[in-house]
């Protein structure tokens, strides 16, 4: 006979007014079919629509719903962190609010966890109705991330079950700008993966534009690897080698009396060098801004109100 365990669902919510309550009901119904106690932590990440009001209304009939409301949009990573901080279960399941992470998998995740697996990761088999552009982008990112860090995250998602121990370790890490997927992998407790097909989004729309994704990708790579910094050294070394080579040719030609027409060469060199130097400065600047952000030690989010079953204004 199992001892009754408590599962905390951590669900970030941003502008999901259309389906949030129905989706929560679906998710809760699935977890209620297991023999676990349940708490649901919905983190309203500064939604501009009426998501928070809908959540508050739903809380009247669902006492196990806890709402954490941010003062503004701090991003999904911050929402996940706040949800984990508010959770009190023996295990936490982090999942999206749009049903793209199938709740039917949760009982299986719980069963695996009960067998002693600390982290059960939902891994995407089929990336759903995604455009070729975002597919190429995602694969390119995972390839670069793997090259830079040695951690393979291909098709990983934020849909995960974490044992309380893993949650505590995750929360004890001092860094502020976090990459949930990468950090859980980095913590490396015994884990197993559970494949799933990405469903169509139920209601609303994805809030990730190409630019936001690009920034996210760059931030994640630089938060895990200093490889781009070392790349600057490599760019420098290669440029130096080319410089020696071109320099030697120029001197030989000068001595032989037929030096090349200089204007194009000089133009090209200035553009190339200028580009390489600015690019390198950009990389340095990016790391500098990350250090700046970490050193300021501002919290990753600000909570407007937190509630169990009491009223949020």
Q: What is the DSSP letter of 105?
A: G
Q: Please, which residue, 97 or 280, has the CB nearer to ligand UDP?
A: 97
Residue 45 interacting with Mg ion (CB under 5 A): no
Stretch binding ligand UDP (CB under 6 A), from 68-76, 216-224, 244-252, 280-288: 68-76
Q: Is 4 helix (H, G, I), strand (E, B) or coil?
A: coil
98 near Mg ion (CB under 5 A): yes
Interface mask toward ligand UDP for 164-203; x: CB under 6 A? -------------------------------------x--
Stretch that binds ligand UDP, among 69-77, 172-180, 236-244, 258-266 (CB under 6 A): 69-77
What the block records as the tokens of 208 is 């990730």
Which range, of 71-79, 172-180, 250-258, 284-292, touches ligand UDP by CB under 6 A?
71-79
Within residues 99-118, the interface with Mg ion by CB under 5 A covers 100
How much helix, strand and coil, in percent to the nearest 5, is found in the chain?
A: 50, 15, 30
- If the CB atoms of residues 79 and 194 are measured against ligand UDP, the closer one turns out to be 79
Q: Is 8 in the site for Mg ion (CB under 5 A)?
A: no
Residues present in the chain in total: 313
Question: Is the Cβ–Cβ distance between 58 and 24 less than 8 Å?
Answer: yes
Residue 146: contacted member of ligand UDP, Mg ion, none (CB under 5 to 8 Å, by partner type) = none
Distance CA(304)–CA(71), nearest Å, equals 5
CB of 309 to Mg ion, least distance (A): 28
97 binds ligand UDP (CB under 6 A): yes
- DSSP string for residues in 168-223: HHHHH---SS--HHHHHHHH--SEEEEEEEPPPP-SS-----HHHHHHHHHHHHHH
From the list 6-14, 58-66, 254-262, 300-308, the region that binds ligand UDP by CB under 6 A is 6-14
Determine which residue in the list 52, 81, 84, 98 makes contact with ligand UDP, applying CB under 6 A.
98
Q: How far apart are CA 37 and CA 34, in angstroms?
A: 8
Residue 106 has, within 13 A of its CA and on its CB side, a CA count of 27
| Order of all β-strands in the sheet with 191-197 | 191-197, 119-126, 156-163, 91-94, 6-13, 37-44, 65-70, 303-307
Task: List contacts with ligand UDP (CB under 6 A).
Answer: 12-14, 16, 45, 73, 75-76, 79, 96-98, 100, 201, 206-208
């Amino acid at each position: 006979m199992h001892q009754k365990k408590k599962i905390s669902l951590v669900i970030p919510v941003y502008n999901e007014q259309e389906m949030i309550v129905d989706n929560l009901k679906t998710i809760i119904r699935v977890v209620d079919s297991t023999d676990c106690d349940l708490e649901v932590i919905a983190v309203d990440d500064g939604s501009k629509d009426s998501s928070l009001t809908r959540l508050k209304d739903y809380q009247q009939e669902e006492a196990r719903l806890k709402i954490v409301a941010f003062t503004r949009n701090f991003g999904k990573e911050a929402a996940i962190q706040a949800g984990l901080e508010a959770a009190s279960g023996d295990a936490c399941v982090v999942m999206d609010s749009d049903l793209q992470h199938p709740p039917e998998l949760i009982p299986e995740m719980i069963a695996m966890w009960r067998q002693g697996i600390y982290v059960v990761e939902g891994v995407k088999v089929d990336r759903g109705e995604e455009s070729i552009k975002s597919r190429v982008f995602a694969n390119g990112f995972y390839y670069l991330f793997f090259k830079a860090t040695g951690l393979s995250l291909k098709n990983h998602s934020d849909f995960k079950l974490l044992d309380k121990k893993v949650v505590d370790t995750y929360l004890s890490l001092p860094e502020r700008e976090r990459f949930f997927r990468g950090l859980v992998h980095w913590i490396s407790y015994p884990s197993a993966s559970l494949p799933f097909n990405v469903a169509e989004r139920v209601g609303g729309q994805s809030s990730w534009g190409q630019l936001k994704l690009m920034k996210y990708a760059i931030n994640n790579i630089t938060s895990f690897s200093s490889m781009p910094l070392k790349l600057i050294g490599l760019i420098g070394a290669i440029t130096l080698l080319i410089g020696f080579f071109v320099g030697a040719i120029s001197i030989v030609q000068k001595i032989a009396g037929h030096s090349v027409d200089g204007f194009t060469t000089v133009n090209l060199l200035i553009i190339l060098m200028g580009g390489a130097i600015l690019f390198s400065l950009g990389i340095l600047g990016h790391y500098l801004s990350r250090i700046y952000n970490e050193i300021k030690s501002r919290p990753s989010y600000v909570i407007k109100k937190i509630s169990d079953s009491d009223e949020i204004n």
